[in-house]
Structure 1
Amino acid sequence: MSADKQVLESLALLYLTFGHSTDGILSGEEMRALADKLRAWAPDAALGDIGELLKTTVATYKGAEDKLLTARGATEALQGKLEPDQLRTILADLEAIAAADGHVSAEEKQFIADTTRSFGL
């Protein structure tokens, strides 16, 4: 699977918002899982390119006034560009990121449920 730049940017923003906004902490395990999931979407991308994408995404996230609204925009962009099977992959990625620290919170479960609804799945 290989995604275009806009899809990767939207994925990075969605995954980062999910990882941080649901419990206020983005653990090292979650960040590694997030990076691994992004690499799966762009297997030919250099590790440095993924790192740059994440740095840019962190800056966007920090600068966002309403982080969840920004994530909703990313969700809508992904829904408009990807097939249902790809959207299901995103949901599985969110589940893996949530579980990376050994605990899936109620907020993480709710975010995944909301994203599932937003995707129309």
Structure 2
Amino acid sequence: MTAARQVRGAQARQSGRRAEVLAAAWLMLKGYRILGFRLATPLGEIDLLAQRGPVLAVIEVKQRARLEDALDAVTADQRARLRRAAAHIARSRHRLSPLTVRLDLMAMAPGRWPRHLRDAWQEGT
């Protein structure tokens, strides 16, 4: 791997972490309680895990140059992986098991307000 590629990768990871922190702050302002950041499960990683009332929100954070690109950035395979990881978390943490699991997207773009899409992908999409 070239040095330039390593630098770009490090910058992308740092930018992603900043986006996740901003997304978490935005969600807290909306009344969500953040339960975890970058949760690794055997079935995939969850960017943010949050609860609001009876809902357990599994939130994928995507930052792109344009909001439209962020909205289109999650593939069907990624959505399936998120669903499996969400089910694993809900099963493995007793107090979360009664909650309704929902997959959300936080789309981020420079100079734009974050866009929170609740239940961003219906089952099977």
Normalising by structure 1, we get a TM-score of: 0.28
Q: Which has the larger radius of gyration?
A: 2
Normalising by structure 2, we get a TM-score of: 0.28
| Richer in helix (by share) | 1
